[in-house]
């Protein structure tokens, strides 16, 4: 009630202003870091052995040509892809195209501009990861809280052991075991891909295994995190006060304790954002699920530089945004930090 009065005197925009200011400041500070990352990516990409123009030549097309025609063709391709310029020039052109025009170059593997293909891949990765994320949270929160409340009891000890087992399981090993069980022995799920060309198997079945692997490999660390945060909070004085007031234990745990335990959990969500995609490289590779990780792997195999540098920049940007999310998230959930940073 009292909280409402304080906020009620301000408009929504006035309340949000400090957040927007802070967010703006953080986004500005992102620019130099992003520039450094782009330089490193550019250098590494150009250190890669092999000539990208020669790699994309269609042997059928060039076979009939004379040497002069072929050289002519290579030169035009080189000019088309921009490889006839100096490194410095190319870097700035790349920078301009990427950040100002939103053009990410031309993929030699797909023979299409990267813009046209990358959206679908990001979307698919996003779908798998968001579903996995929601499931992982829904499962880990009650388990983490219960383990913290029953600290040192049998349930807690069992959870501790199981989570250590969980964080030690390599995702590809889990994936293979799941394939063994559900695809080969029970025969209820498809092996890989994202849809059935014959349209017999429903699309959601292709999501089941990748999502399960993502949930299984992230569950353990989530539970450990939530448990540790909860144990910390349960020892706090205000929890004792709440209990001393004679509040219902459920209200003490879920209203007073868990809300505060959420603060460190915000970090976890922030770290998740980049992991969302890069961690999926392995999983997508095993299940041949065409997401960002799969695209990166393909681009590596085909030395598709435009796709490679776009994907890398995308992963870097995601990590930076994750860090910003952590800071802003702290500000939203923790009034102490809010006061400190807003002023």
Partner 1 sequence: MSEAIKDVKGFSKEDEVILSPTQQIIIKFKSNRLAMFGFWLFSIIVAIVVVTHIYTTVTGYDFSYTDASLKNLPPSLKYPFGTDKYGRNTIVRVFEGGWISLQVGFLSTFMAVTIGLAMGAIAGYFGGKIDAVIMRIVEVIYSFPFLALAFIISAVFRDQPAEFRLFVIIAILGFIRWTGLARLVRGQIMSLREQEFILATKALGIKKRNQIMRHLIPNVLAMVVVTATLTFAGAILNESFLSFLGLSVTEPIPTWGALIAKASSNSTSLRTFWWIWVFPGAMLFMFIMSINLIGEGLREAIDPKADYTTKKQRKAKKAAKKAEKKAEKSAMKEVV
Q: Give the residue, chosen from 147, 311, 330, 331, that forms a contact with partner 1 under the rule CB under 8 A.
A: 311
Residue 95 burial by Cβ neighbours in a 10 Å radius (0-12, 13-18, 19+): middle
| Binding status of residue 80 toward partner 1 by CB under 8 A | no
Tokens read off for 191: 């092996």
| Binding status of residue 122 toward partner 1 by CB under 8 A | no
Judging by DSSP bridges, how do beta strands 106-107 and 112-113 pair with one another?
antiparallel
Q: Give the residue, chosen from 106, 308, 310, 329, that forms a contact with partner 1 under the rule CB under 8 A.
A: 308
Tokens 């009939």 belong to 64
- Nearer CB in complex with partner 1: 8/197: 197
Phi, psi of 113 (to 5 degrees): -65, 145
Interaction residues for partner 1, span 184-213 (CB under 8 A) = 184, 191
Phi, psi of 20 (to 5 degrees): -65, -45
| Binding status of residue 56 toward partner 1 by CB under 8 A | no
Q: Give the residue, chosen from 105, 274, 290, 329, that forms a contact with partner 1 under the rule CB under 8 A.
A: 274
Interaction residues for partner 1, span 135-164 (CB under 8 A) = 152, 160-161, 164
Site string for partner 1, 164-183 (x = CB under 8 A): xx-xxxx-xx--xx-xx--x
- Nearer CB in complex with partner 1: 111/301: 301
Residue 108 burial by Cβ neighbours in a 10 Å radius (0-12, 13-18, 19+): buried
Residues 6+ apart with CB under 8 A from 87: 46
Alpha-carbon span 260 to 206, nearest angstrom: 38
| Binding status of residue 52 toward partner 1 by CB under 8 A | no
| Binding status of residue 278 toward partner 1 by CB under 8 A | yes
Residues 6+ apart with CB under 8 A from 231: 148, 151
Positions touching partner 1 (CB under 8 A) are 33, 36-37, 40-41, 44-45, 47-49, 152, 160-161, 164-165, 167-170, 172-173, 176-177, 179-180, 183-184, 191, 274, 277-279, 281-282, 285-286, 296-297, 300, 303, 308, 311-312, 315-316, 318-320, 323
């Amino acid at each position: 009630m009292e909280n409402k009065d304080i906020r009620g005197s301000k408009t929504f925009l006035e309340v949000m202003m400090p957040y927007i200011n802070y967010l703006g400041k953080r986004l500005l500070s992102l620019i130099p870091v992003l520039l450094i990352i782009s330089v490193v990516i550019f250098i590494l990409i150009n250190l890669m052995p092999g000539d990208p123009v020669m790699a994309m030549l269609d042997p059928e097309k060039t076979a009939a040509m004379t040497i002069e025609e072929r050289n002519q063709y290579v030169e035009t391709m080189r000019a088309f892809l921009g490889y006839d310029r100096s490194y410095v020039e190319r870097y700035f052109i790349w920078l301009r195209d990427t950040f100002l025009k939103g053009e990410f170059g031309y993929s030699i593997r797909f023979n299409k501009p990267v813009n046209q293909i990358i959206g679908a891949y990001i979307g698919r990765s996003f779908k798998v990861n968001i579903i996995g994320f929601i499931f992982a949270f829904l499962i880990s929160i009650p388990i983490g809280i219960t383990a913290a409340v029953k600290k040192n009891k049998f349930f807690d000890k069992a959870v501790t052991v199981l989570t250590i087992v969980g964080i030690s399981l390599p995702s590809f090993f889990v994936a293979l075991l799941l394939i063994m069980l559900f695809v080969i022995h029970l025969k209820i799920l498809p092996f890989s891909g994202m849809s059935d060309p014959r349209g017999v198997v429903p699309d959601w079945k292709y999501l089941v295994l990748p999502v399960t692997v993502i949930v299984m490999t992230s569950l353990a660390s989530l539970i450990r995190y939530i448990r540790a945060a909860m144990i910390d909070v349960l020892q706090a004085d205000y929890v004792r006060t709440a209990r001393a007031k004679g509040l219902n234990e459920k209200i003490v745990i879920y209203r007073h304790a868990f809300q505060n335990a959420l603060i460190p959990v915000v970090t976890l969500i922030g770290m998740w954002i980049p992991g969302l995609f890069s961690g999926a490289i392995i999983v997508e590779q095993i299940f041949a699920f065409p997401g960002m990780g799969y695209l990166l792997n393909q681009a590596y195999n085909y030395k598709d530089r435009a796709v490679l540098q776009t994907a890398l920049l995308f992963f870097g940007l995601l990590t930076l945004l994750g860090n910003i999310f952590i800071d802003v998230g702290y500000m939203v959930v923790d009034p102490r930090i809010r006061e400190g940073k807003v002023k």
